[in-house]
Structure formats: structure tokens, C-alpha cells
Amino acid sequence: MKIAIASGKGGTGKTTLSTNLASYIAENRECILVDLDVEEPNSGLFIKAELLHEEDMFKKIPEWNESTCELCGNCQTVCSFNAVMKMGKMIMVFPEMCHGCFACSELCPTGSLPMKSKKMGELKSYKSGNLNFIESRLIIGEEQAVPLIKQTLDYVDANFSEDRITILDSPPGTSCPVIEATRDADLVILITEPTPFGLHDLKLAVETVRQMGKPFGVVINRNGIGNDGVEQYCREESLDIIALIPNDRLIAETYSAGNLLYPTVPSVKNAVSHIESYIEKINEKMKRDTV
Amino acid sequence: MKEIVVISGKGGTGKTSITASLAYLGGEDLIVADCDVDAADMHLLLSPDFGNPEEFYSGELAVINQDVCIQCGKCQEVCRFDAISVVNNQYFVDSLGCEGCGYCARVCPAEAITNERPGVGQVFVSNIRTGSAMVHARLNIGADNSGKLVAKVKKDAKSLAESKNKTAVLVDGSPGLGCPVVSSLSGANFVVLVTESTVSGIHDLKRVYELVEKFGIKAGCIINKADLNPGVTDKIKGFLDASGIVLLSEIPYNESFTKAMTNGKTIVEYDKELGAIISGSWEQIKELCEI
């Protein structure tokens, strides 16, 4: 079962929840944590584990073969992203603009734009007890996060069985990287904070998961800090509030040092245990529905 | 006319609250641009009137005409984004997955696929309560190309600033390291990095600064929640020193950020002590930018 931890807004506690929940679950059974915030992966700062495997991740981009090219310009015509351009007697490829659709390459009448691998990031796989932790990291200056997220999820599917609990720490926002990260999730947990910013961005996130047709629930972090707008909204929309994590300077301090919270902060332990039960409930329901 | 961009790498550092405060301090001299289009929150503090909405189009989306489709499956075969699925023998395009490359339409033997240009969001030029104007946007859920939308917001803000003879454009930048933030940074004269005294804060600051360095932009840094973890704050200061980044200010961990936000106010309006710190930073920024 895959659970994506997402939020419309950054800094609401996605990584805090992902790392604490995964570590808590792993105390009793095997669990996988995947950091899909490939632009700024932070989960690894909280998980102390042994590095088992690392590999470079590549995307495919076209490379011009001058010797066979007849300069027909079809590649430029078919590229929707201005990533391939005919300039005089040259075909220029702009790798950072390429989405890797293969159209220019496969529709080239002379096969002069073969797709070649270009490094876009790195994947690392760690293990600590029952917890497998996978992290991908985009090279700085590389603009497209989606291909790396997709390949990371493929790696997880290829290497781990589906019956484990997999926690996906998603990127923030509501655009393409989040969609990619939550696409395969069986359940989405939206984490927010009880402030006007939190509420505004939660609404966007709710619209997103509804459009994707995913079951989801809400966790309110820093509870007590702002107002009751978020709770009111959840009530009006009949959304499940799975857990509340209180606003507490001790939590902020523990987090600031890169430490997990649930071993020392009882309210967080309580929250992750609630969330685990909620996940179990959804899991049971899914099993019943598929029978 | 100068362009000042505020970014943070990591979400939740107080970037938008600080940018709104700078906008308040700059008053009529500034045009404000909210380029955090994924989680655009600045309107909650600056009360724009959502004037002059303009539909924003970018990218394309494939649509299959079921009456013409011969179910050959060629489209699904060439799609590298797994955006075409089969339900009851009919081929459908998943609008959230489609990158709009147009490859499927080109290979469809029945010419059943057309490319549409859906509106992906709206751009507004609004009057705000600081006596100036703000360019901001609303990106539709799951919409692609927020990089292009960011470029549009910045371009409109710049031309407005030029036509109104303003001294600067103040940009609330996008989070992360991918295409929207690259777009936020291009053309900037000065970057304000907002970080927080946590292990994630310094990690993301270092990563995002690599990008700033590539652009060769002068930078200053505001450390928020600076007293949360003195050890981390010292490390951040060491990094700033070594990288030639000006330390603009250290703001203590303070719930006024949330309280001001909950009241729809900027921090400078709400909290005198914090207000004085941010005013000091604003004076420094003006000096460094020569405005």
C-alpha cells in the first residue's frame, strides 16, 4: 500500500510526518520511505541508515548526428517545447527544455536524432532495521523534476513488494511534480497548518486530490497556532481529520537539530499511532473492495 | 529599475510574510510580483482587488475524438508519459499526465487526436493596499508550465514598473530548484534568501544558492527562527561568510508571524520589535541594490 504525504504549501511538515511515521511503522514491520521532493530532499537528514546502493539517474534526450542529417527540419516542426531548432545548417538541441517525448527522434526520416542518456540526478537506497529509505536528488540547474520522480517510483516498484507500507514524501504545491508523486498512491495524507496560508493551500491540495479521485485525509500540524479556519473547512467538506500535532517549541527545536520527534515527544507519538491505525483501516477497506 | 527576488529553497521559512513586509515598507515605490504561483499566498496579506484578469494559455493537451478513433492503439504506444489509457476499449487522454508534446496526434492514422490549448491559469494586475500594484496569478490544478507563468508574471510586473517609473520590482519567488525558480531568478539584480535555523533550512539554502551562483546574482540572507538552534545558525553564518552573502538580519522564533498573518497584516504592521528588524534589512537591501 502506498501512502503519499502531500501539502499545497511548503514547510507544513511533510518531511516531519513522513520520517516519523515511516520510522514508527518500521518498529514493528517492514516499511519503505521514499523522498520524492527531488528538488530539495530533506528526509535523509532525519533518517540514520546504512547506504546499500546508489546509482546515477538518466533522462533521454536527442543528440544530433550531423553526418546522416538531411536538414529537413521535421524535428523542429514536431517539437512542442522549442527544444530542437534548425539554425542554418545545424540542428541545435536544448536539453533543459526537452521533455523526452521522443517525437523528434522517432519521426526523423533519417534517424539522425538518436536518444542518448543524460544524467539528471542520483538515487540512493538505505536500510536501517525494517526501514528501507530511497532518496532521489535532482542535479542543480536541471529543471524537470517529473522524469526523476517517475523513475524513482519505477525503481521502488521493481525492487520492493507491493504489500509493504510505502510512504511517499511528495514535493510541495499542486502542479506536475506532485501529480506525478501521488499518481500511484492508494491514500493521500494532506498536512496543513491552521493559518490563512495553510487553509488557502489546503483547499488547492484538496481540489487536486479530488480531481485525481484519491482517498485522502488531513493532518493539522502546529495545532493551536492560528485560528480554527482549517477545522471549520474540514467539517464543512466532511474531510477526515486523522490527527492533530500541537504547536510546540520543543518540536521545532528537536526538528531543527535533525532528530525524529516521536521517540521524545508523546503528542507526536500519539499522532503517528493514530495515523497508522487510519492507514490500516483504509487498507482493510481496500482489500474488502477488491475481493 | 531594479529587480529584487525573495526565495527560500525550503517552504515554510516565512518567505511570503517577509516579502509582504518588504512590499509594505517599499510602498508606492515598488511593483510587487507573486511568482510563487503554486501556493500564491501574498494576496492574503496585501488585499489585491483582483483587477484585469487575463487568461493564461501555455502548452497543449491531446484530446481524442471517440467518433473518429479506430482503436489502433498507436497513440498509447508512442506516449512516453503513460497519459493514454484504455477503458472499455476506448482510448482516453489523462489530462493530468499529458505533457502536450503532440506526438500521439502526429502518428494517429485516423486523425482522431487534436491538440487543444486549455487555459492553465489567470494573471491579475491588482491595486494593493500599500498604494501600489501587484501582478499575481492563479494556476489551475495540476497545470503544467508554471515556469512559463512565472515568466509572464515577471514580465508584466516589469513593464508596469517601467511605465509607472517605479524604482523596483519585488518578487516573491517560487520554492524548490526546478523550472519555476529558475524562471523567478532570471534577470534579477538582487536575491534575498530567507532561511531558517534548522538542518533542512541550511541544506536547502546551500542547494538553492548554487543556482543563484550560476546566475551570478548578488545575494543577502535573512535567518528566520535564528534562536531555535544556535549551532545551526552559526553554521549558516559560516556558510554566508564563505560564500560572500550579506547577512541581512536574524529574526527570533516568534509566533507574531502567524498572528500577523491570521489578522491579514504584515509583520511590520503587527509587531514593532520584529518590524524594526525587517525595516533594517529593507534599508540594507536598498543600499546594496542602489535604489
Q: Chain A contacts of B80, Cβ < 8 Å?
A: 100-102
List, for residues A185-195, the tens digit of each pLDDT value: 999 999 999 99
Cβ(B135)–Cβ(B156) under 8 Å? yes
Between chains, do B101 and A179 touch, taking CB under 8 Å as contact?
Answer: no
Query: Can you tell me the distance from the alpha carbon of A136 to that of A131, in angstroms, rounded to the nearest whole number?
Result: 17
Residue A246: all three cell numbers together: 500541537
Cβ(A211)–Cβ(B96) under 8 Å? yes
Instruction: Please give the pLDDT value at position A95.
Output: 87
Instruction: Please give the pLDDT value at position B10.
Output: 85
Of A78, A145, A257, the CB nearest to B178: A145
- Which string of b and e fits B233-268 if b means at least 16 CB within 10 Å? bebbbebbeeeebbebbbbebbebbbbbbbeebbbb
> What is the pLDDT of chain B when averaged over all its residues?
93
List, as ranges, residues 113-172 from A with C-beta within 8 Å of B.
138, 140-145, 171-172
Between chains, do B11 and A12 touch, taking CB under 8 Å as contact?
Answer: yes
Query: Can you tell me the distance from the alpha carbon of B157 to that of B148, in angstroms, rounded to the nearest whole number?
Result: 14
Going by pLDDT thresholds of 50, 70 and 90, the confidence category of residue A34 is very high
Average pLDDT on B125-154 reads: 87
Is the pLDDT score of B99 beyond 80? yes
Is the pLDDT score of A7 beyond 70? yes
Instruction: Please give the pLDDT value at position B3.
Output: 96
Secondary structure element (H or E) that encloses residue A34, with its range: strand A31-35
C-alpha distances out from residue A201 to A74, A216, B47, B141, Å: 43, 15, 17, 11
List, as ranges, residues 196-225 from A with C-beta within 8 Å of B.
196-197, 200-201, 204, 207-208, 211-212, 222, 225
Is the pLDDT score of B176 beyond 90? no
Handedness of CA B286, B289, B290, B291 (dihedral sign): negative
Coil/strand/helix, residue A18 = helix
Is the pLDDT score of B71 beyond 90? yes
Least CA distance to A74: which residue of chain B? B106
Instruction: Please give the pLDDT value at position A290.
Output: 81
Instruction: Please give the pLDDT value at position B145.
Output: 61
Between chains, do B146 and A227 touch, taking CB under 8 Å as contact?
Answer: no
Coil/strand/helix, residue B259 = helix
Instruction: Please give the pLDDT value at position B119.
Output: 85
Of B103, B141, B232, the CB nearest to A103: B103
Q: What is the DSSP letter of A56?
A: E
Side-chain-facing half-sphere of B133: CA atoms under 13 Å: 19
Is the pLDDT score of B40 beyond 90? no
Handedness of CA B151, B153, B155, B161 (dihedral sign): negative
Instruction: Please give the pLDDT value at position B186.
Output: 87
Average pLDDT on A18-30 reads: 97
> What is the pLDDT of chain A when averaged over all its residues?
94
Handedness of CA A103, A106, A107, A109 (dihedral sign): positive
Residue B51: all three cell numbers together: 483587477
Instruction: Please give the pLDDT value at position A103.
Output: 97
CB atoms under 10 Å from CB of B161, counted, come to 25
Residues 6+ apart with CB under 8 A from A31: A22, A25, A130, A131, A132, A164, A165, A166, A167
Dihedral pair phi/psi, residue B76, rounded to 5°:
-65, -35
Instruction: Please give the pLDDT value at position B177.
Output: 82
Nearest to A148 by CA among A57, A42, A35, A83: A57
Instruction: Please give the pLDDT value at position A175.
Output: 78
Per the model's pLDDT, the better-predicted residue between B157 and B39 turns out to be: B157
Cβ(B69)–Cβ(B110) under 8 Å? yes
List, for residues B187-197, the tens digit of each pLDDT value: 899 999 999 99
How far off is chain B from A40, nearest CA to CA, in Å?
6
How far off is chain B from A166, nearest CA to CA, in Å?
22
List, for residues A210-240, the tens digit of each pLDDT value: 988 999 999 999 999 999 999 999 999 999 9
List, as ranges, residues 79-98 from A with C-beta within 8 Å of B.
80-81
Instruction: Please give the pLDDT value at position A179.
Output: 86
Query: Can you tell me the distance from the alpha carbon of A221 to that of A96, in angstroms, rounded to the nearest whole number?
Result: 37
DSSP characters for B163-207? HTT-SEEEEE--SSSSHHHHHHHTT-SEEEEEEESSHHHHHHHHH
Between chains, do A255 and B102 touch, taking CB under 8 Å as contact?
Answer: no
Q: Chain A contacts of B200, Cβ < 8 Å?
A: 15, 40, 42, 45, 255, 258
Coil/strand/helix, residue B35 = coil
Going by pLDDT thresholds of 50, 70 and 90, the confidence category of residue B174 is confident
Q: Which CATH class is domain A2-57+120-290?
A: alpha beta
Domain-wise residue ranges, chain B: 2-57+122-289, 61-116
CATH code linked to domain A64-113: 3.30.70.20
Query: Can you tell me the distance from the alpha carbon of A168 to that of A165, in angstroms, rounded to the nearest whole number?
Result: 10
Instruction: Please give the pLDDT value at position A15.
Output: 95
Instruction: Please give the pLDDT value at position B141.
Output: 75
Provide the CATH topology of domain B61-116.
Answer: Alpha-Beta Plaits (3.30.70)
Instruction: Please give the pLDDT value at position A60.
Output: 94
Query: Of B251, B262, B266, which to mutate for an interface test with A (greatest number of A Cβ within 10 Å)?
Result: B262
Is the pLDDT score of A84 beyond 90? yes
Going by pLDDT thresholds of 50, 70 and 90, the confidence category of residue A268 is very high
Instruction: Please give the pLDDT value at position A24.
Output: 98
Q: Among A31-40, B57-66, B259-268, where is mean pLDDT lowest?
A: B57-66
Could you say which of 3.40.47.10, 3.40.309.10, 3.40.50.300, 3.90.550.10 is the CATH number of the domain covering B2-57+122-289?
Answer: 3.40.50.300
Query: Of B99, B113, B225, B235, which to mutate for an interface test with A (greatest number of A Cβ within 10 Å)?
Result: B99
Average pLDDT on B171-179 reads: 86
Residue A173: all three cell numbers together: 504545491
Between chains, do B12 and A9 touch, taking CB under 8 Å as contact?
Answer: yes
Average pLDDT on B210-221 reads: 94
Is the pLDDT score of A201 beyond 70? yes
Domain-wise residue ranges, chain A: 2-57+120-290, 64-113
Size of interface A-B (CB pairs under 8 A): 180
Average pLDDT on B229-258 reads: 97
Instruction: Please give the pLDDT value at position B144.
Output: 65
pTM assigned to the model = 0.91
Instruction: Please give the pLDDT value at position B86.
Output: 94
Instruction: Please give the pLDDT value at position A221.
Output: 97
Nearest to B225 by CA among B201, B261, B192, B193: B201
Amino acid at B145: N
Q: What is the DSSP letter of A80?
A: T
Is the pLDDT score of B59 beyond 80? no
Is the pLDDT score of B146 beyond 80? no
Q: Name beta bridge partners: B121.
A: B56, B139
